[in-house]
Amino acid sequence: MSAKARIATLSACCGPVSHGELSEADSQTLAAGFAALADPVRLRLLSLIASADADGICACDLVEPVGRSQPTVSHHLKILREAGLVIGERHGTWVYYRAVTDQIAALRQALT
């Protein structure tokens, strides 16, 4: 499933887990988002991206704060993108990332 489809699915689904049984599809969608956040580096990256201004944050500005190499940061950003938690937009040679707030809210909602 593409990241866009996963975002649409998660945004449309997934009430709180305490409010009834989740469907198989909803469970898989939520699990993909939570799995992406199960790594401390990705969790830190998401927090940096989510706290950036509306224009997003350049991938080049994420390397130093997490103390990882550029290829490692790119790998983690790919996982966050595939889970639909962030989107990247190319500006020349740089990619700027923004958080997908609806996706993050859906994960939060599932836990309330």
* Rounded Cα distance, 107 and 14, in Å: 8
Q: Cβ(99)–Cβ(56) under 8 Å?
A: no
> At the topology level of CATH, where does 3-111 sit?
Arc Repressor Mutant, subunit A (1.10.10)
In this prediction, residue 46 carries a pLDDT of: 97
In this prediction, residue 23 carries a pLDDT of: 85
In this prediction, residue 15 carries a pLDDT of: 53
At 57 the three-state DSSP class reads: strand
Q: Which residues contact 2 (CB under 8 A, 6 or more apart)?
A: none
In this prediction, residue 7 carries a pLDDT of: 46
At 42 the three-state DSSP class reads: helix
In this prediction, residue 11 carries a pLDDT of: 46
* Rounded Cα distance, 76 and 15, in Å: 27
E strand spans, the chain: 57-58, 86-91, 94-99
In this prediction, residue 14 carries a pLDDT of: 53
Mean pLDDT by 10 residues, the chain (112 residues): 48 52 85 94 97 94 96 97 95 95 90 84
* Rounded Cα distance, 21 and 38, in Å: 23
